[in-house]
Every structure is written in structure tokens, then in C-alpha cells.
Structure 1
Amino acid sequence: MENALSSTGDIELDHAVNQWLRFDKNHLTVELVRSLVSEGAVGELRKCFGSRMEFGTAGLRAAMGPGTACMNELTIIQTTQGFCSYLEQCFGAVLKKRGVVVGYDARFHPPSGGSSKQFARLAAAVFTSRGVPVHLFGDITPTPFVPFTVSHLGLCAGIMVTASHNPKQDNGYKVYWENGSQIVPPHDQGISAAIEANLEPWPESWNTDGLSGCPLLKDPYEETHTHYYKTIQQHCHYRDINKRSEVKIVHTSVHGVGHSFIQSAFKAFDLQPPYAVEEQKDPDPEFPTVKYPNPEEGKGVLTLSFALAEKVGASLVLANDPDADRLAIAEKQSGGQWRVFSGNELGALLGWWVYRCWKLTNPELSAVKSVYMLASTVSSKILRALALKEGFHFEETLTGFKWMGNRARELLDQNKTVLFAFEEAIGYMCSSAVLDKDGVSAAAIAGEMSSYLATKNTTLSQQLTAIYEEYGYHISKNSYFICHDQEVIQALFQRLRHYGNEDQDQVSYPSECGRFTITAVRDLTTGYDSTQKDKKAVLPTSTSSQMITFTFSNGGVATMRTSGTEPKIKYYTELCAAPGNSLVDLLKQELDDLVSAIVENFFQPTKNKLLPKPE
């Protein structure tokens, strides 16, 4: 071993590989590493062992394969040992009374033998070896069922093994705290430190055979299934209309877990079952019919759905991502073309609908004072406009449902009502029973909304226009560039912090972008906010991710940030107009010009090293 790597002079790499071969009991990943060593493939070994997956507030997400930089059986064990140890520190003996829940999707990676189910079983084995009760789902499950189970059963934590909408080679490890929401700092740092302190597998951590007949192991599938649908039925307000509805809906689970759960959700609402896209109905870790298993990408993922809709005469298409926590919707227009709603547009529709339904059962004027809606800072401000006119509260959080979920929990603990939360990346929380995005309940609620609107001879598109005309047009345009080089990403954002100034010690943000004047800057990486007296941002900051927001004199807002789970630099822009503004086309042109200026001035210096969003 030492001879194979002696030419590199990399002692740390040598140590990491040797330690791996000593710890790993998966013969497939062991043989993959041994082959790389025998071939002298130092470059590949560095990719696998040059770093350890960083445990953040989104947990872990990486490609499946051998090594510390990948998702595999050993890194799952090490991660779970760290998580278990951290929970023991936080909860003490209570952990052995309350326990945890573990769920998984249908991902599988034959070369390394990695599968979500096996990863989940190994996680369960780690916890039961320490005397901790584990509620391990006996079959694939949507991600929102895990936080629901944490809250419903009063557990200490939850784990969901999924990579959501990432490419097929990826997998992930998503963590929920006792409050039913994803973890936020400082838990991520605490878990990371505990992982590093527990790298050597514990004696029983590999023993998944010991799960058979283990008294500490339970399957929550039936109980969760029953109580989840009973809970979301509370958000069904038009059962008679649903039963009579002639709206035809197509649904695709995009080769993920969603099919049977969406069918059950529609049944819970007495809606006619949606037509399933047969080629994409059953879980398939190869995702054979799509380039990217992400309905956020739009029409390219929905081709088969449109074809089925044309065949059966359906006017609406619903699409979940593979772990069913997100929802996309497309509607057939009068001219025969399909309109895929953006995440912000669906946020407007669902927010309006959820508030309207709440108002039906809460007509007293004073009740609205305890109502809240939430949205991430890069999402449309349409909910703010609704709140201002209707009298409820709107709050903005950092990007990611971990922030909205935790804030929702705080508000609920204060006896407030949290009706709705959303992020522009097609994530919606339509019920506070799940403090995370939930594509299952959102699909049923969207189905009821469309059925009700049909009785008024109104489409979703027409209703969206009505919302904008009442509360003000909110025109947004979001996209991203792909970049795998962290140095390029760092250079791009550092340039914005030292704009027109070669002195890297002196901060100077741009004051204009093309013909557009910048009136305010907020940098949530450094904690700077030009609108505050002390220039310090109110929202939490994080040095581990990049995020800068620019406000323009024309009322436009643009945010540039890095993704926490994908190699992307994302940008989000929005222009708002007062209710009744008829100059929509001018607004759209102004926003197009603003986006062009941002790409030209802020991205251009590094654009040759960036890949555009795929068509």
C-alpha cells in the first residue's frame, strides 16, 4: 500500500485509504479501492479520499461510491454513530425512551452496492446497538412522512435517506430534530464533531441481520399512513365539489416514491384519482425517461405527462420529485399549449387558496391577527402583499425549509397559526402537521383548488391573474449557472464584494449594474446590510455559503447565491407593481433587461467557466 502511493508523498491520503480498508466490510467498495491502489490511480483516490463529506444543515448529499467523500455503507455508519452520539449528549436517557425514525427512498447504485434501503437499515443497526428504539419504515416513503412521524410520535429525531431530485448516482442523509423540522446551527457543527470522534465502526454497527426480531425496532408505516391522511383531511373544504368534479388530472412521480401516496391523498379528499404516467409510475433508480429527475426543470421532465394528458383529455398535470416533497403543476391553455407554473406562481395560488379556506371557517375579524405565512428570502414577495391587505403576518427567512420549519415551530409554540410557507424551488408547506415542504398534501390541496375553480369556470391561470390584479403583479425570473470549481465561485463573489477595487481588504459593493442603479446591498455571507443603521444584517448569516441581495431603484430585487446541494450559482429576480397596474408587458421587459445586465456585469468575467442551465 505504501509503495503504491509513495510517489505522491501524500501521507494523509495514504492514511485515509489504509484506515478505510481497515474499517470497511462492504466487499464491493473494498475491491473498488484496492483496484485503484493497484492501478496507481492517485487522482481517483484523491477524489474519493481527499475530503470528508461536510455535514451541514441539509445533512449530507454526494455521489455513491467508495471513500470518505462519497455516500456508502461505511460513511453512513460513521455519520449515524456521530449523530447517535450527539443525540445522547443532548437528550441523555430520554433518547432510549423516545427513539428516532428512519425512512428511505428507492435509490440504488450497483457498482458500490449502495442503496437507500441498506443505508437506512445500517442507520437503524447503529441506533439499536446503543439501546435506542428505532421506527424504521418497512418500505419506501415520501420525505414528509419522516418529519410527520417525528412530531406525531414525539421522537427525538428523524433520518431520511434520499437525494431528492439529484442525479441517479447521488444519495443523501437528511436529519430532523425533535421539533419536526430540519436541523439548524449549531446542531450541524455538533454532529460533525461527533462524527469525527466516532469514525471506527462500533462492534454491532454492521449487524443488520440483528434487526430481525429486534425488540427495539418497529415499523411506523401503517400508523403514519393512517394518521397522516386523517390530518391532511382537515384541509379539505369542498368534499361535495370534489366528488362531482369533472377536472381530469395527470400525475407523475418521475420514477420516485410518490404514486401510491398521491393516490391515497386524492382519495382522502374524495377527488377523482389522477391518471398516472405509466412509464414513470413505479420507482426506478435509473430514472430512464428523464435527463434530470427534477420537475423544477419544467417541460423536459413533463413530456410523457403532456402526452398522456392529451390522450385522456386532462387539463392539469401534477408532478412530484422522486422523494415527493416538491410539487410542479402545468395547465393546458386555451390555445392548446401547456403552461408550467413557476414556484413563485404556485406560491401565490396556494397561499391565496389556503388563506381563503381558513377565512371560511374563521370569519371573526380578530382571528387574522394570529395568522402567519412564511417564505424564503429568494422567493416572491406576493405573500407580503396578501398580508398587507388582509391583515395577517408575513415573515421572511433564510433560504431553505429548515429555516421556515423552525420558525413555524416557534410561532406554533406561541399559539400562533401558521397557514402556509413556500420557497420558489416548488416547495410548499400547506399544513403545519409537516414542518417541511410536502408535495403530497400540496397535490391534494391543488386538486381541490382546481375543482372549486372549475365550478366558477375559472382556470388556475385566470385565478393567478386575478390574484395579481388584486394584490399587485409580482414578476419573477430565476435561473442558474453550473459550476464545479469552488475557486471560480469564490472569485465571482469576492469580485462583487470588492467591485472596482483591487484592494481585497477594502469592501466596496457595486452601485450600479448597467443602466440600473443599486440602492441597497445585503450580504448574508459576511453579515453586511446597507439598510441597517449599524450595517449588520438582521437575518442569520453563514460563511459556508454565498448569498448577496441587490435592491434597485426601479423596485427590482436580485439575489445571487450558491446551492447547498448542487454545483450551481443561482440567481433570483423580481419586480413588483401596485394592484391594477396594466403595464405588465413593460414590467416583463424591464425585468428581462435587468437580468441581462446582471449576467453581463456580474457573471461575465467568469462566464467562460460556467455552464448555463440546460434547456
Structure 2
Amino acid sequence: MDTQLKFRVQHWLKNDPDPLMRAELQALIDAGDEQAITARFAGRLAFGTAGLRGVVGAGPTRMNRLVVQQTSAGLGAYLMAQVSDIATRGVVIGYDGRHDSQQFAEDAAGVLCGLGIKVYLTKKIAATPLVAFGVLHLGAAAGIVVTASHNPPQYNGYKVYWGNGAQIIPPHDSGIAACIEKAVNEQIKVTSLDDALTAGHLQILADDFYQAYRDGVHQSPVLQHQTAPEQVSLAYTAMHGVGNEMALDVLKDAGFTKVYSVAAQAQPDGDFPTVNFPNPEEKGAMDMVMAEAKKHNAMLACANDPDADRFAVAVRKSDGDYQMLTGDQVGVLFGHYLLTHAPDNQRFTCTTIVSSSLLSKVAASLEATCRTTLTGFKWLTNVGMTEQTDDNRFLFAYEEALGYTLGTMVWDKDGLSALVGFAQLTAELASQGQTIWDRLESIYQQHGFHLNSQVSIALKPTTPNIGAYLRDNPPQSIAGHKVVSTDDINLGKRLFADGGEEDISLPASDVLIYRLDNDARVIVRPSGTEPKIKCYYEVVETMNANDTLASAQLRAQANMDAFVNAHQASLPK
């Protein structure tokens, strides 16, 4: 081990407050595992617009108590420089049910209180949307939630909200990161929670805080369409996360009496013992809730991910089996439902560039606005709140990765209010003798069957830079269809085939969007860090009077397969 690395390791061992992490690092030293030690000290776990997320372990490239303390010291310094009344406005901190989450949250609280900043710390586990809610509810300057969302058990994370209740965006992310780099080399004071309570720097958020969120969902203007909730039956799983108690409460408040929770997945368990991967999008993750739904012949099988900010649903079909809806299908159903009930001055919706284009068509048909943002809820909600007007207030936003926000109580994705909203949509349809499938079919009949697919392509190290290649060799057609327009988000331009162009008001990003003359679309996102690209495909199939959802899907899937194959064959190898 070289002298510089040895010094850094010894410095870390001296400062790490966690005996388990010190023992883990010492074991690597004793084993002479220089490769593993070098990996632990190859830089730092990067702080970005999603905060931190990584595997729990010893060293600066892992999630651990010292990394959390250093991050909190940097965040505290940035807040003190940016927010004049930070000491009194304070920071809300909550945490999920992973093994280290409470300790990490208490470390963050101890550091901020040591800086003289007031902290509101949840007394127990909290769904991520409760923290976003809490920032605005308490008038705090920022929020922290310790969570790794739906990542595997060995992960944890640290997400930051700004005082507007939304996830941080530039320049705050880089500003905080710079302050963290400085804090790494400074002595960090960590106040004990007892001392912070005595000094008045710490307030524990008890039952009345959780009740305030529950009341907020019950009173939300967009969740007042209560049509015969007793007609709806649904199974629910918290997927070993934090959602179960609050989910059952908000459903009960909305009048839903036939709710069946999956007992084996109801309590928080950081090992996630009954799922291979605690993400509702993963194959098999919804098996237990669908089995519970089938046992009761329930209409819906619903899930939240472990921090309850995402919502997933499978819907009973005519044959009694259950089929998962895609995030795009749920998003479009929500958009249509909410817009048909919304007042004239609340018709502003948002979605992302990689989500289905169908919401924008539904919104246009209902004389509403749909704004498209970069990928990520931080963009959806920041754009939603800054671009809404008194005459056109924000209503709804979604991204295809199962994230939805209904109304303005929480400026982040909220799987709990989405659960209530989807149950209410189902109840309204049931009272009319219809199902979710009927509503989807009517939307597709009007606007075309939209099918979306994502493909991640691994490239050889020798493959040319895809973004540069496509800009130098712009395709005139893809899969036999003419390219009508190309959006180059890096340039901020939409380039039309006839030579015209117009500006795009999105932050620069290495993304290319091709729209074809058959309404199909492909989005290419080269990776800046590894030899791969992500491609997002959309095909639109006109439904005729004799079509069923199944027949339209078959036709769309055949077109999708041909589209994907032809496009990938055209990329440089």
C-alpha cells in the first residue's frame, strides 16, 4: 500500500464513529487486500441531484456514518451560506426501514444541531413523501430523507429537498457537493440528541405530524371524487417497506373497506426476505400481492415501493388473472381522470421526455397544458411550481418509472396519495359498470394504442461516441420511416426535416429525440460514464372499431420489435 493511501486509511479509521465499519476496514488491512482497500478510497461517493446512494460499507466510496456526517456538515455549511434564517427555519429529517437508516438520520441531526441549525426528526420510520410534505408544512429550509428507495438490501441513500419542498436541482447540488469536499478536511462536531433537545435545537416529529399528512391526503382537493368506494376491493403490499400503516389509514379515510394487506410483507424489514429485488417493476416482485388479490377476487393488486414514493398496480382481467399496468398507462389514466374533474384554472400537467407522448395528446384534447421535462421528479415538480400561473395551476405530473404526484400537497412523487387516487378512479368506473380496461381502451380508441419500450445497449470499448456519430450523421429515416424532426437537447434545438428549427426550453443534456412520419419516436441517451446507450422507443397503432386491447397490443408489439431491431442495426458497432 503506498504511503498516501496508507495515510488516508489511517485517517479514516481514526475518524469513523462506527466500530463495525472500522472492523470491516481493519479486516481488509489484515488480509492485505490492497485491491479492495483501493476501491474503497478511489474518490468519494458522489453527491448529485439525487443526493447520495450506494452500498453500505467502510470507506469514502460507500454509505456509512462518517460519509453521512461529512455530507451533513457540507449541507449545513451550504444552507448557512444560502438561507439567512436557517437556524430557526431548520431542516426536516426522516428515514426508511433499512438497517442503518435511523442511525444515519440521527447522525445527520447531530451534525446539523451542532451547527446551531434546528432539526425536526421523525420519531419513527416515515415514507419519503412525508418528508417532502413536512418541509412545506413546517416551513423548513430543507429536508433530508435517509432511504435507498427500491434498491437491494445492501444499499442506502441520502436525499435532499430544498425549502420549496422539491428535490434539489442545479446549482444547489454542485454547491452542496463543494461544501462537502471542504467539510471532509474539517473537524465535525456531532451533538448528542439529548443535548440537542435540551438546547432546543431538536424537535421530534410525533404522531401529530403523521396525522397532519394523513389529514392532508383526506382533504386534498384532487382526491374528493368519492364515488361508491365500497364497491372497490383491493390487495396491498408495502413490500417490506414503510407504507403499510399509512396506506391502510388513507384508504380507510377515503371509505375503502375491502382492503387486504399482504401480512408477510407488511412490516419494515431491511433484508426484504420475500422478494429478490424490492422494486415493483422487477419480475416476481408483485407475485404475493397478486396472489392475495386472487384469494379475495379483488379488483386491484396495489404496491408501494419500500419508501412509498412509487405506486404500482395490477388490474383483474375478465379471466380472473391480474395484469400489471405500465407506469405510462397509470400516468395517462390519472391524467385523463384528474383533468375531467379539474376546475378551469387547474389544468397544468407535466411528464418527462422518456415517458409516453399520450398524456400530451389527452391534455390537448381536454384543453389542458402538458409540459415535458428532463427525466427525474426533481425537474417535474420544480417546473410545475415555477411555470404554473393563477389561471393555470399545477394538477398532476408523472414519470414512467411508477412516479406520480397528484395536486400540490407534496412536490415529489407520492405513492400513498396515488394509491387513494387510483382506487377512486376504479370506484368511479365501477359505479358506471366499467373497468380500468374499458377506460384505457376508450383513450386508445381516441388517440391510438401507444406502446413504449426501453432498451439498454452495451457497446464495445472501440465503438465510436454514439452521440457525436449521430450528430455528424443525422439519420434521414429509421426502420423505413422518414425522420420528421430531431430534438437535440444538448443544443436546445428542434431540427425539422425541411430545414426549419425552433428552440427547446430544457436544460442541456446529451439526448437526441427522433420523431417519425408514422408517429413513432426513438430517444437516444448515450452514457457519459460507460460504453452503453439507453434507447426509448414508442410506437402508435391506430385502433379500428373491431380492435380489442389485445389485438391492438399484438400489432403494436410486432411493430415495436421490427422498429427496435432496425434502429439498433443502424447504430455504429
Q: What TM-score results when the alignment is normalised by the length of structure 2?
A: 0.91
Residues 214 and 246 of structure 2 are in contact (CA less than 8 Å); yes or no, is this contact kept in structure 1?
A: no
Question: Residue 541 of structure 1: which of 490, 503, 508 is its match?
Answer: 508
Residue in 2 aligned with 1:111?
Answer: none
Matched, 1:289 2:274: yes
Residue in 2 aligned with 1:35?
Answer: 27
Pair 1:577–1:395, CA change in 2 (3 A): farther
Residues 478 and 570 of structure 1 are in contact (CA less than 8 Å); yes or no, is this contact kept in structure 2?
A: no
Q: Distance in 2 between matches of 1:292 and 1:198?
A: 35
Amino acid of the residue matched to residue 196 of structure 1? E
Question: Residue 486 of structure 2: which of 521, 546, 549 is its match?
Answer: 521
Matched, 1:558 2:522: yes
Post-superposition offset of 1:204: 2.7
Amino acid of the residue matched to residue 575 of structure 1? V
Q: Distance in 2 between matches of 1:536 and 1:467?
A: 31
Residues 96 and 241 of structure 2 are in contact (CA less than 8 Å); yes or no, is this contact kept in structure 1?
A: yes
Residues 479 and 562 of structure 2 are in contact (CA less than 8 Å); yes or no, is this contact kept in structure 1?
A: no
Q: Distance in 2 between matches of 1:433 and 1:390?
A: 24
Post-superposition offset of 1:523: 3.9
Amino acid of the residue matched to residue 178 of structure 2? A
Residue in 2 aligned with 1:422?
Answer: 398
Identity %: 33
Post-superposition offset of 1:169: 0.7
Residues 99 and 156 of structure 1 are in contact (CA less than 8 Å); yes or no, is this contact kept in structure 2?
A: yes
Gaps of 5+ in 2: none
Amino acid of the residue matched to residue 468 of structure 2? R
Pair 1:567–1:44, CA change in 2 (3 A): farther
Matched, 1:349 2:355: no
Pair 1:63–1:565, CA change in 2 (3 A): farther
Residues 475 and 588 of structure 1 are in contact (CA less than 8 Å); yes or no, is this contact kept in structure 2?
A: no
Q: Distance in 1 between matches of 2:123 and 2:86?
A: 22
Matched, 1:95 2:64: no
Q: Distance in 2 between matches of 1:581 and 1:400?
A: 37
Residue in 1 aligned with 2:101?
Answer: 116
Pair 1:289–1:600, CA change in 2 (3 A): farther
Residue in 2 aligned with 1:237?
Answer: 224
Matched, 1:440 2:405: no
The C-alpha deviation readout for 1:123-171, integer Å capped at 9, x for no partner, is: 0001111111111001111111111111111110000111101111111
Amino acid of the residue matched to residue 494 of structure 1? N
Q: Distance in 2 between matches of 1:325 and 1:373?
A: 19
Q: Partner of 2:231: helix, strand, or coil?
A: coil
Post-superposition offset of 1:394: 1.2
Q: Aligned ranges for residues 121-520 of structure 1 at < 5 Å?
A: 121-200=106-185, 202-205=187-190, 207-208=192-193, 210-211=195-196, 213-233=198-218, 234=220, 235-239=222-226, 241-242=228-229, 245-272=230-257, 274-298=259-283, 300-358=284-342, 362=343, 367-368=344-345, 371-412=347-388, 416-470=392-446, 472-481=447-456, 494-499=465-470, 507-520=472-485
Q: Distance in 1 between matches of 2:123 and 2:485?
A: 52
Residues 558 and 574 of structure 1 are in contact (CA less than 8 Å); yes or no, is this contact kept in structure 2?
A: yes
Q: Which moved more, 1:509-518 or 1:414-423?
A: 509-518
Residues 339 and 366 of structure 2 are in contact (CA less than 8 Å); yes or no, is this contact kept in structure 1?
A: no
Residues 100 and 157 of structure 1 are in contact (CA less than 8 Å); yes or no, is this contact kept in structure 2?
A: yes
The C-alpha deviation readout for 1:357-389, integer Å capped at 9, x for no partner, is: 22xxx3xxxx25x52111011111222112221
Residue in 2 aligned with 1:19?
Answer: 11
Pair 1:32–1:43, CA change in 2 (3 A): same
The C-alpha deviation readout for 1:92-126, integer Å capped at 9, x for no partner, is: 3x001110100100112xxxxxx011000000001
Q: Distance in 1 between matches of 2:161 and 2:45?
A: 18
Pair 1:562–1:85, CA change in 2 (3 A): farther
Q: Distance in 1 between matches of 2:337 and 2:528?
A: 31
Residues 237 and 266 of structure 2 are in contact (CA less than 8 Å); yes or no, is this contact kept in structure 1?
A: yes
Q: Distance in 2 between matches of 1:132 and 1:408?
A: 29
Residues 160 and 168 of structure 2 are in contact (CA less than 8 Å); yes or no, is this contact kept in structure 1?
A: yes
Q: Partner of 2:404: helix, strand, or coil?
A: strand
Residue in 2 aligned with 1:571?
Answer: 535
Aligned length: 564
Q: Distance in 2 between matches of 1:160 and 1:141?
A: 9
Q: Distance in 1 between matches of 2:192 and 2:490?
A: 43
Q: Distance in 1 between matches of 2:464 and 2:228?
A: 52
Residue in 2 aligned with 1:530?
Answer: 495
Pair 1:383–1:582, CA change in 2 (3 A): farther
Q: Distance in 2 between matches of 1:396 and 1:59?
A: 23
Residue in 2 aligned with 1:592?
Answer: 561
Residues 69 and 188 of structure 2 are in contact (CA less than 8 Å); yes or no, is this contact kept in structure 1?
A: no
Amino acid of the residue matched to residue 420 of structure 1? F
The C-alpha deviation readout for 1:175-217, integer Å capped at 9, x for no partner, is: 1001110111011110010001111464532745544545221
Q: What TM-score results when the alignment is normalised by the length of structure 1?
A: 0.85
Post-superposition offset of 1:27: 1.4
Residues 396 and 405 of structure 2 are in contact (CA less than 8 Å); yes or no, is this contact kept in structure 1?
A: yes
Q: Distance in 1 between matches of 2:297 and 2:349?
A: 36
Post-superposition offset of 1:431: 1.8
Pair 1:195–1:251, CA change in 2 (3 A): same
Q: Distance in 2 between matches of 1:591 and 1:221?
A: 51
Q: Distance in 1 between matches of 2:369 and 2:146?
A: 35
Post-superposition offset of 1:560: 3.4
Q: Distance in 2 between matches of 1:313 and 1:406?
A: 41
Pair 1:432–1:579, CA change in 2 (3 A): farther
Q: Distance in 1 between matches of 2:287 and 2:36?
A: 37
Residues 58 and 564 of structure 1 are in contact (CA less than 8 Å); yes or no, is this contact kept in structure 2?
A: no
Pair 1:51–1:480, CA change in 2 (3 A): farther
Q: Distance in 2 between matches of 1:223 and 1:62?
A: 33
Post-superposition offset of 1:248: 1.5
Residue in 2 aligned with 1:609?
Answer: none
Q: Which moved more, 1:345-354 or 1:17-26?
A: 17-26
Q: Partner of 1:348: helix, strand, or coil?
A: helix
Post-superposition offset of 1:514: 4.5
Pair 1:563–1:105, CA change in 2 (3 A): farther
The C-alpha deviation readout for 1:567-594, integer Å capped at 9, x for no partner, is: 9954322123568687735444222211
Q: Which moved more, 1:76-85 or 1:32-41?
A: 32-41
Q: Kindly report the root-mean-square deviation, in angstroms, between the aligned alpha carbons of the 2 structures.
A: 2.7
Amino acid of the residue matched to residue 591 of structure 1? M
Q: Distance in 2 between matches of 1:14 and 1:26?
A: 19
Pair 1:396–1:475, CA change in 2 (3 A): same
Residues 125 and 210 of structure 1 are in contact (CA less than 8 Å); yes or no, is this contact kept in structure 2?
A: no
Q: Distance in 1 between matches of 2:529 and 2:377?
A: 13
